[in-house]
Amino acid sequence: MYEMKPEYYTGIEEIDAQHARLFELAQETHDLLDDNLLQDKTEELSRLISELIDYTKMHFAHEEAYQKSIGYAHADRHALQHRQFEDKLMEFDFDSIGDDYNSQNDAVEKLLNFLVSWLVTHILKVDMLYVGK
């Protein structure tokens, strides 16, 4: 369901592979939301968030180094968007998640919506600007 679409490809192999992994993590978040058998989702949710933080940091560092290597003029502005995304992920408020199934699902859904909308918009509207520069 969440995966790379033809319009997401930058043509830069490593960056496309990293974006594909981020979509995989979105899919894992969706699968967690869909899981009706798991009693407590907080552990899996926190695993996903830490994996997302680690993976995006690696991806962003790679992307920023690439932009530097091609002398991309708007690298600073781009990096700022990366920092804002990292901040949002790190601000994720576990304390507000209740023990009940519905409030846990709300938290997973919130992460999923944030992740997917950011990823798609950022790739299409921001990452694409340095492609072919």
13-34 and 101-121 helices, crossing angle to 10°: 160
- Residue 107 as a binder of Fe ion (CB under 5 A): the answer is no
Backbone phi and psi for residue 105, each to the nearest 5 degrees, phi listed first: -65, -35
**Between 58 and 97, how does the x/- string for binding to Fe ion read (CB under 5 A)?**
-----x----------------------------------
- Residue 119 as a binder of Fe ion (CB under 5 A): the answer is no
- Residue 127 as a binder of Fe ion (CB under 5 A): the answer is yes
Question: Which residue minimizes CB distance to Fe ion?
Answer: 127
How far apart are alpha carbons 75 and 97 in whole angstroms?
36
